[in-house]
Amino acid sequence: MTNNQEIIGRDEINDLEAILSITNTADDALDHSVQATFDSVFTWDYERSRTPLVKLYEKAKTSQWNASTDLDWSVDVDQEKLALEDMNREDVQFFSDAVDLKGTAFENWGENEWVQLSIESQNWTLSQFMHGEQGALLCTARIVETVPWIDAKYYAATQVMDEARHVEVFARYLDEKLSGHYPINAHLGLLLDDILKDRRWDMTYLGMQIMVEGLALAAFGFMHQMTTEPLLKQLLRYVMSDEARHVAFGVLSLQEYYKELSDAEMLDRQEFAFEAAVRMRDRFLSQEVWGRMGVDVKDAIKLVMADEGRQMFQNILFSKIVPNCKKLGLLERNDAWLRKRFTELGVIQFEDWVDTGEEYVMLDEVAKDRAVAS
Protein backbone atom coordinates (compact mmCIF):
# COMPACT_ATOMS: atom_id res chain seq x y z
CA MET A 1 0.00 0.00 0.00
CA THR A 2 1.18 3.52 -0.76
CA ASN A 3 1.94 5.99 2.02
CA ASN A 4 0.86 9.57 2.64
CA GLN A 5 3.92 10.97 0.87
CA GLU A 6 2.99 9.14 -2.32
CA ILE A 7 -0.72 9.97 -2.10
CA ILE A 8 -0.85 13.58 -0.86
CA GLY A 9 2.79 14.67 -1.12
CA ARG A 10 3.53 14.82 2.63
CA ASP A 11 3.86 12.39 5.53
CA GLU A 12 1.69 14.26 8.03
CA ILE A 13 -1.84 15.33 7.09
CA ASN A 14 -1.52 18.55 9.11
CA ASP A 15 1.96 19.53 7.92
CA LEU A 16 1.33 23.27 7.61
CA GLU A 17 4.52 24.03 5.70
CA ALA A 18 3.62 21.45 3.06
CA ILE A 19 0.05 22.75 2.82
CA LEU A 20 1.19 26.33 2.31
CA SER A 21 3.82 25.32 -0.23
CA ILE A 22 0.99 24.63 -2.69
CA THR A 23 0.08 27.96 -4.24
CA ASN A 24 -1.51 29.24 -7.41
CA THR A 25 1.33 30.54 -9.57
CA ALA A 26 -0.83 31.57 -12.52
CA ASP A 27 -3.31 33.99 -10.95
CA ASP A 28 -3.59 36.12 -14.09
CA ALA A 29 -3.94 33.28 -16.61
CA LEU A 30 -7.27 33.12 -18.43
CA ASP A 31 -6.79 29.54 -19.66
CA HIS A 32 -5.57 26.34 -18.08
CA SER A 33 -4.99 23.15 -20.06
CA VAL A 34 -5.01 19.61 -18.67
CA GLN A 35 -3.42 16.91 -20.81
CA ALA A 36 -5.54 13.77 -20.77
CA THR A 37 -5.94 10.59 -22.79
CA PHE A 38 -9.19 8.67 -22.63
CA ASP A 39 -11.47 6.57 -24.78
CA SER A 40 -14.71 8.02 -26.12
CA VAL A 41 -17.11 5.10 -25.85
CA PHE A 42 -20.08 4.49 -28.12
CA THR A 43 -22.68 1.93 -27.07
CA TRP A 44 -25.07 0.31 -29.52
CA ASP A 45 -27.15 -1.11 -26.67
CA TYR A 46 -30.04 1.33 -26.29
CA GLU A 47 -32.07 -0.77 -23.86
CA ARG A 48 -33.10 1.25 -20.79
CA SER A 49 -32.17 -1.41 -18.25
CA ARG A 50 -30.95 0.57 -15.21
CA THR A 51 -34.20 1.62 -13.57
CA PRO A 52 -32.73 3.98 -10.93
CA LEU A 53 -30.87 5.92 -13.63
CA VAL A 54 -33.97 6.00 -15.83
CA LYS A 55 -35.92 7.58 -12.96
CA LEU A 56 -33.12 10.06 -12.29
CA TYR A 57 -33.05 11.08 -15.93
CA GLU A 58 -36.81 11.62 -16.01
CA LYS A 59 -36.57 13.71 -12.84
CA ALA A 60 -33.77 15.80 -14.32
CA LYS A 61 -35.80 16.58 -17.44
CA THR A 62 -38.63 18.06 -15.39
CA SER A 63 -36.39 19.92 -12.92
CA GLN A 64 -34.59 22.32 -15.26
CA TRP A 65 -34.71 26.00 -14.31
CA ASN A 66 -33.68 29.22 -16.00
CA ALA A 67 -31.14 31.37 -14.18
CA SER A 68 -32.28 34.48 -16.05
CA THR A 69 -36.01 34.23 -15.32
CA ASP A 70 -36.40 32.11 -12.17
CA LEU A 71 -34.17 34.26 -9.95
CA ASP A 72 -34.92 37.83 -8.93
CA TRP A 73 -31.78 39.67 -10.03
CA SER A 74 -33.31 43.02 -9.07
CA VAL A 75 -32.52 42.33 -5.40
CA ASP A 76 -29.98 44.80 -4.05
CA VAL A 77 -27.07 43.23 -2.14
CA ASP A 78 -25.25 45.41 0.40
CA GLN A 79 -22.20 43.36 1.38
CA GLU A 80 -21.02 45.78 4.03
CA LYS A 81 -24.43 45.88 5.72
CA LEU A 82 -24.62 42.09 5.73
CA ALA A 83 -21.11 41.85 7.15
CA LEU A 84 -22.00 44.27 9.97
CA GLU A 85 -25.05 42.18 10.79
CA ASP A 86 -22.92 39.03 10.85
CA MET A 87 -20.60 40.60 13.42
CA ASN A 88 -23.43 40.36 15.94
CA ARG A 89 -24.23 36.70 15.17
CA GLU A 90 -22.43 34.07 17.20
CA ASP A 91 -23.07 31.36 14.57
CA VAL A 92 -20.98 33.06 11.86
CA GLN A 93 -17.93 34.28 13.77
CA PHE A 94 -14.52 33.60 12.22
CA PHE A 95 -13.03 32.37 15.50
CA SER A 96 -14.79 30.85 18.48
CA ASP A 97 -14.52 32.47 21.91
CA ALA A 98 -12.10 29.72 22.95
CA VAL A 99 -9.41 31.07 20.60
CA ASP A 100 -7.00 33.47 22.28
CA LEU A 101 -6.20 36.29 19.83
CA LYS A 102 -3.78 38.08 22.14
CA GLY A 103 -0.41 38.63 20.53
CA THR A 104 -1.78 37.92 17.05
CA ALA A 105 -2.47 40.20 14.10
CA PHE A 106 -6.15 40.10 15.03
CA GLU A 107 -5.76 41.44 18.56
CA ASN A 108 -6.12 45.08 17.58
CA TRP A 109 -8.56 44.66 14.73
CA GLY A 110 -11.55 46.96 14.77
CA GLU A 111 -14.89 46.90 13.00
CA ASN A 112 -13.47 47.86 9.61
CA GLU A 113 -11.04 44.94 9.50
CA TRP A 114 -13.60 42.33 10.54
CA VAL A 115 -16.13 43.68 8.04
CA GLN A 116 -13.56 43.55 5.25
CA LEU A 117 -12.62 40.00 6.24
CA SER A 118 -16.28 39.00 5.97
CA ILE A 119 -16.54 40.58 2.52
CA GLU A 120 -13.33 38.96 1.28
CA SER A 121 -14.36 35.59 2.69
CA GLN A 122 -17.67 35.70 0.82
CA ASN A 123 -15.95 36.75 -2.42
CA TRP A 124 -13.48 33.89 -2.01
CA THR A 125 -16.11 31.28 -1.15
CA LEU A 126 -18.39 32.10 -4.06
CA SER A 127 -15.39 32.24 -6.40
CA GLN A 128 -14.34 28.73 -5.40
CA PHE A 129 -17.91 27.50 -5.88
CA MET A 130 -17.84 28.98 -9.38
CA HIS A 131 -14.49 27.37 -10.25
CA GLY A 132 -15.61 24.04 -8.83
CA GLU A 133 -18.78 24.14 -10.92
CA GLN A 134 -16.71 24.64 -14.07
CA GLY A 135 -14.69 21.61 -13.03
CA ALA A 136 -17.97 19.70 -12.74
CA LEU A 137 -19.00 20.94 -16.17
CA LEU A 138 -15.87 19.49 -17.77
CA CYS A 139 -16.02 16.26 -15.78
CA THR A 140 -19.65 15.58 -16.62
CA ALA A 141 -19.01 16.18 -20.30
CA ARG A 142 -16.23 13.59 -19.93
CA ILE A 143 -18.68 11.12 -18.37
CA VAL A 144 -21.01 11.46 -21.38
CA GLU A 145 -18.09 10.39 -23.57
CA THR A 146 -16.62 7.62 -21.45
CA VAL A 147 -19.36 5.82 -19.49
CA PRO A 148 -20.45 2.65 -21.32
CA TRP A 149 -24.16 2.70 -20.34
CA ILE A 150 -26.80 4.55 -22.36
CA ASP A 151 -28.84 5.41 -19.24
CA ALA A 152 -25.80 7.08 -17.70
CA LYS A 153 -25.03 8.99 -20.90
CA TYR A 154 -28.60 10.31 -20.98
CA TYR A 155 -28.48 11.51 -17.38
CA ALA A 156 -24.96 12.94 -17.61
CA ALA A 157 -26.09 15.05 -20.58
CA THR A 158 -28.70 16.72 -18.35
CA GLN A 159 -26.03 17.39 -15.74
CA VAL A 160 -23.86 19.16 -18.31
CA MET A 161 -26.69 21.67 -18.67
CA ASP A 162 -27.04 21.91 -14.89
CA GLU A 163 -23.35 22.65 -14.42
CA ALA A 164 -23.32 25.30 -17.14
CA ARG A 165 -26.20 26.99 -15.34
CA HIS A 166 -24.37 26.81 -12.01
CA VAL A 167 -21.25 28.45 -13.44
CA GLU A 168 -23.51 31.10 -14.96
CA VAL A 169 -25.34 31.97 -11.72
CA PHE A 170 -22.26 32.11 -9.50
CA ALA A 171 -20.37 34.20 -12.07
CA ARG A 172 -23.29 36.59 -12.42
CA TYR A 173 -23.76 36.88 -8.66
CA LEU A 174 -20.07 37.65 -8.21
CA ASP A 175 -20.07 40.20 -11.04
CA GLU A 176 -23.31 42.00 -10.25
CA LYS A 177 -23.76 41.64 -6.48
CA LEU A 178 -20.36 41.18 -4.84
CA SER A 179 -17.08 43.07 -4.97
CA GLY A 180 -14.41 40.87 -6.47
CA HIS A 181 -13.28 37.51 -7.82
CA TYR A 182 -10.55 35.22 -6.53
CA PRO A 183 -8.51 32.83 -8.73
CA ILE A 184 -8.97 29.13 -8.19
CA ASN A 185 -7.53 27.81 -4.94
CA ALA A 186 -4.39 25.77 -5.66
CA HIS A 187 -5.58 22.70 -3.71
CA LEU A 188 -8.90 22.66 -5.58
CA GLY A 189 -7.06 23.14 -8.86
CA LEU A 190 -4.78 20.16 -8.21
CA LEU A 191 -7.74 17.95 -7.43
CA LEU A 192 -9.64 18.95 -10.58
CA ASP A 193 -6.50 18.31 -12.64
CA ASP A 194 -6.10 14.85 -11.10
CA ILE A 195 -9.73 13.97 -11.85
CA LEU A 196 -9.48 15.09 -15.46
CA LYS A 197 -6.14 13.38 -16.08
CA ASP A 198 -7.43 9.92 -15.12
CA ARG A 199 -8.71 8.03 -18.15
CA ARG A 200 -10.94 5.63 -16.17
CA TRP A 201 -14.59 6.67 -16.34
CA ASP A 202 -15.40 5.57 -12.81
CA MET A 203 -12.63 7.74 -11.36
CA THR A 204 -14.28 10.79 -12.91
CA TYR A 205 -17.46 9.74 -11.12
CA LEU A 206 -15.66 9.14 -7.83
CA GLY A 207 -13.66 12.35 -7.87
CA MET A 208 -16.43 14.67 -9.03
CA GLN A 209 -19.84 13.12 -8.29
CA ILE A 210 -18.97 11.60 -4.92
CA MET A 211 -16.18 13.76 -3.49
CA VAL A 212 -16.35 17.28 -4.98
CA GLU A 213 -20.13 17.41 -5.50
CA GLY A 214 -20.74 15.71 -2.14
CA LEU A 215 -18.77 18.38 -0.30
CA ALA A 216 -20.40 21.12 -2.39
CA LEU A 217 -23.87 19.87 -1.46
CA ALA A 218 -23.02 20.09 2.24
CA ALA A 219 -21.37 23.52 1.82
CA PHE A 220 -24.34 24.90 -0.10
CA GLY A 221 -26.69 23.61 2.57
CA PHE A 222 -24.65 25.26 5.31
CA MET A 223 -24.49 28.60 3.48
CA HIS A 224 -28.19 28.42 2.65
CA GLN A 225 -28.96 27.98 6.34
CA MET A 226 -26.66 30.81 7.46
CA THR A 227 -27.26 33.55 4.87
CA THR A 228 -29.97 36.18 5.27
CA GLU A 229 -29.49 37.54 1.73
CA PRO A 230 -32.66 36.58 -0.21
CA LEU A 231 -31.19 36.27 -3.72
CA LEU A 232 -28.30 34.08 -2.56
CA LYS A 233 -30.71 31.99 -0.51
CA GLN A 234 -32.94 31.44 -3.54
CA LEU A 235 -29.97 30.74 -5.81
CA LEU A 236 -28.59 28.12 -3.43
CA ARG A 237 -31.98 26.40 -3.16
CA TYR A 238 -32.06 25.86 -6.89
CA VAL A 239 -28.45 24.73 -7.08
CA MET A 240 -28.94 22.29 -4.17
CA SER A 241 -31.88 20.68 -5.96
CA ASP A 242 -29.56 19.88 -8.88
CA GLU A 243 -26.58 18.85 -6.73
CA ALA A 244 -28.62 16.26 -4.83
CA ARG A 245 -29.37 14.49 -8.11
CA HIS A 246 -25.75 14.73 -9.21
CA VAL A 247 -24.41 13.00 -6.11
CA ALA A 248 -27.15 10.37 -6.33
CA PHE A 249 -26.07 9.74 -9.93
CA GLY A 250 -22.60 8.88 -8.71
CA VAL A 251 -23.84 6.63 -5.92
CA LEU A 252 -26.32 4.74 -8.11
CA SER A 253 -23.79 4.25 -10.92
CA LEU A 254 -20.73 3.23 -8.90
CA GLN A 255 -22.62 0.99 -6.48
CA GLU A 256 -23.18 -1.49 -9.30
CA TYR A 257 -19.70 -1.20 -10.79
CA TYR A 258 -17.68 -1.41 -7.57
CA LYS A 259 -19.20 -4.75 -6.59
CA GLU A 260 -17.18 -6.34 -9.38
CA LEU A 261 -13.77 -4.77 -8.62
CA SER A 262 -10.83 -6.64 -7.09
CA ASP A 263 -9.20 -5.59 -3.80
CA ALA A 264 -6.30 -4.01 -5.70
CA GLU A 265 -8.67 -2.01 -7.89
CA MET A 266 -10.69 -0.91 -4.86
CA LEU A 267 -7.54 0.16 -3.00
CA ASP A 268 -6.74 2.47 -5.90
CA ARG A 269 -10.19 4.06 -5.49
CA GLN A 270 -9.81 4.28 -1.71
CA GLU A 271 -6.50 6.09 -2.04
CA PHE A 272 -7.97 8.50 -4.56
CA ALA A 273 -10.93 9.24 -2.26
CA PHE A 274 -8.51 9.95 0.60
CA GLU A 275 -6.41 12.26 -1.56
CA ALA A 276 -9.53 14.13 -2.67
CA ALA A 277 -10.71 14.50 0.92
CA VAL A 278 -7.40 16.00 2.02
CA ARG A 279 -7.24 18.36 -0.96
CA MET A 280 -10.75 19.64 -0.25
CA ARG A 281 -10.09 20.08 3.45
CA ASP A 282 -6.91 22.04 2.68
CA ARG A 283 -8.72 24.39 0.32
CA PHE A 284 -11.09 25.48 3.08
CA LEU A 285 -8.17 26.94 5.01
CA SER A 286 -8.71 29.98 2.73
CA GLN A 287 -5.05 30.93 2.52
CA GLU A 288 -5.69 33.46 -0.27
CA VAL A 289 -8.07 35.45 1.96
CA TRP A 290 -5.56 35.81 4.78
CA GLY A 291 -2.91 36.94 2.31
CA ARG A 292 -5.19 39.59 0.83
CA MET A 293 -6.02 40.85 4.34
CA GLY A 294 -2.32 41.46 4.95
CA VAL A 295 -1.87 39.06 7.85
CA ASP A 296 0.71 36.29 8.09
CA VAL A 297 -0.95 33.34 6.36
CA LYS A 298 0.81 30.71 8.43
CA ASP A 299 -0.13 32.37 11.72
CA ALA A 300 -3.75 32.76 10.65
CA ILE A 301 -4.08 29.13 9.56
CA LYS A 302 -2.50 27.93 12.81
CA LEU A 303 -5.35 29.66 14.62
CA VAL A 304 -7.91 28.15 12.24
CA MET A 305 -6.53 24.62 12.68
CA ALA A 306 -6.52 25.03 16.47
CA ASP A 307 -10.07 26.36 16.61
CA GLU A 308 -12.44 23.51 17.50
CA GLY A 309 -15.41 25.51 16.23
CA ARG A 310 -13.86 25.96 12.81
CA GLN A 311 -12.79 22.33 12.71
CA MET A 312 -16.35 21.23 13.51
CA PHE A 313 -17.63 23.32 10.60
CA GLN A 314 -15.05 21.87 8.20
CA ASN A 315 -15.81 18.34 9.34
CA ILE A 316 -19.54 18.85 8.74
CA LEU A 317 -18.72 19.44 5.07
CA PHE A 318 -17.90 15.71 4.85
CA SER A 319 -21.34 14.67 6.09
CA LYS A 320 -22.44 13.78 2.55
CA ILE A 321 -19.18 12.17 1.47
CA VAL A 322 -18.60 9.58 4.20
CA PRO A 323 -22.00 7.80 4.05
CA ASN A 324 -21.81 7.71 0.26
CA CYS A 325 -18.34 6.13 0.42
CA LYS A 326 -19.73 3.60 2.89
CA LYS A 327 -22.59 2.66 0.56
CA LEU A 328 -20.06 2.11 -2.24
CA GLY A 329 -18.08 -0.32 -0.07
CA LEU A 330 -15.04 1.96 0.07
CA LEU A 331 -14.80 2.15 3.86
CA GLU A 332 -14.37 -1.55 4.63
CA ARG A 333 -12.42 -3.09 1.75
CA ASN A 334 -8.70 -3.83 2.21
CA ASP A 335 -8.80 -4.11 5.98
CA ALA A 336 -10.91 -0.93 6.31
CA TRP A 337 -8.16 1.21 4.78
CA LEU A 338 -10.37 4.24 4.05
CA ARG A 339 -12.21 3.95 7.37
CA LYS A 340 -8.87 4.38 9.14
CA ARG A 341 -7.98 7.40 7.02
CA PHE A 342 -11.35 9.07 7.56
CA THR A 343 -10.91 8.43 11.27
CA GLU A 344 -7.54 10.19 11.06
CA LEU A 345 -9.23 13.12 9.32
CA GLY A 346 -11.87 13.25 12.06
CA VAL A 347 -14.90 12.67 9.80
CA ILE A 348 -15.82 8.99 10.29
CA GLN A 349 -18.68 9.94 12.65
CA PHE A 350 -20.83 10.74 9.61
CA GLU A 351 -20.79 7.18 8.22
CA ASP A 352 -24.35 6.38 9.29
CA TRP A 353 -25.92 9.59 8.07
CA VAL A 354 -28.37 9.19 5.17
CA ASP A 355 -26.58 8.66 1.87
CA THR A 356 -27.57 10.83 -1.09
CA GLY A 357 -28.71 7.85 -3.10
CA GLU A 358 -31.66 7.70 -0.71
CA GLU A 359 -32.24 11.35 0.13
CA TYR A 360 -31.95 13.04 -3.26
CA VAL A 361 -35.71 12.96 -3.95
CA MET A 362 -36.43 14.66 -0.63
CA LEU A 363 -33.70 17.26 -1.14
CA ASP A 364 -34.86 17.95 -4.67
CA GLU A 365 -38.51 18.41 -3.75
CA VAL A 366 -37.91 20.45 -0.61
CA ALA A 367 -35.41 22.74 -2.32
CA LYS A 368 -37.61 23.37 -5.34
CA ASP A 369 -40.75 23.91 -3.21
CA ARG A 370 -38.95 26.47 -1.08
CA ALA A 371 -37.56 28.19 -4.13
CA VAL A 372 -41.05 28.52 -5.63
CA ALA A 373 -42.43 29.76 -2.29
CA SER A 374 -39.75 32.44 -2.04
3-state secondary structure of 31: coil
Q: Inter-axis angle of helices 51-62 and 230-258, to 10 degrees? A: 160
- What's the one-letter identity of residue 206? L
Q: Are 273 and 7 in contact (CB under 8 A)?
A: no
Contacts 24+ apart (CB under 8 A), 57-66: 57/151, 57/154, 57/155, 57/158, 59/245, 59/361, 59/364, 60/155, 60/158, 60/159, 60/162, 60/245, 61/158, 63/241, 63/242, 63/245, 63/364, 63/368, 64/158, 64/161, 64/162, 65/165, 65/238, 65/371
Total count of domains within the chain: 1
How far apart CA 162 and CA 180 sit, in angstroms, is 24
Instruction: List the domain range (segments joined by +) for residue 155.
Output: 51-63+125-373
How far apart CA 69 and CA 18 sit, in angstroms, is 46
**Within-domain flag for 282:** yes
With a cut of 70, which residues of the chain have pLDDT below it? 1, 27, 356-374
3-state secondary structure of 209: helix
How far apart CA 106 and CA 99 sit, in angstroms, is 11
Handedness of CA 217, 218, 224, 227 (dihedral sign): negative
Task: Report the CATH number at residue 231.
Answer: 1.10.620.20
pLDDT of residue 26: 73
**Within-domain flag for 342:** yes
pLDDT of residue 182: 95
How far apart CA 140 and CA 159 sit, in angstroms, is 7
pLDDT of residue 235: 97
Give the C-alpha distances (Å, rounded to integers) separating 288 from 19, 95, 181, 250. Answer: 13, 17, 11, 31
**Within-domain flag for 14:** no
**Within-domain flag for 172:** yes
Give the C-alpha distances (Å, rounded to integers) separating 107 from 74, 101, 168, 170, 266. Answer: 39, 5, 39, 34, 49
Q: Give pLDDT tens digits for 109-168.
A: 999 999 999 999 999 999 999 999 999 999 999 999 999 999 999 999 999 999 999 999
- Alpha helices by DSSP H, the chain: 4-8, 16-20, 51-62, 79-86, 111-146, 150-177, 186-197, 201-204, 213-226, 230-258, 263-283, 287-292, 297-306, 308-316, 321-327, 333-345, 356-373
**Within-domain flag for 251:** yes
**Within-domain flag for 19:** no
Q: Are 130 and 178 in contact (CB under 8 A)?
A: no
**Within-domain flag for 314:** yes
**Within-domain flag for 110:** no
How far apart CA 228 and CA 226 sit, in angstroms, is 7
CA geometry: angle 100, 104, 110, nearest 5 deg: 90
pLDDT of residue 354: 80
DSSP assigned state of 349: G
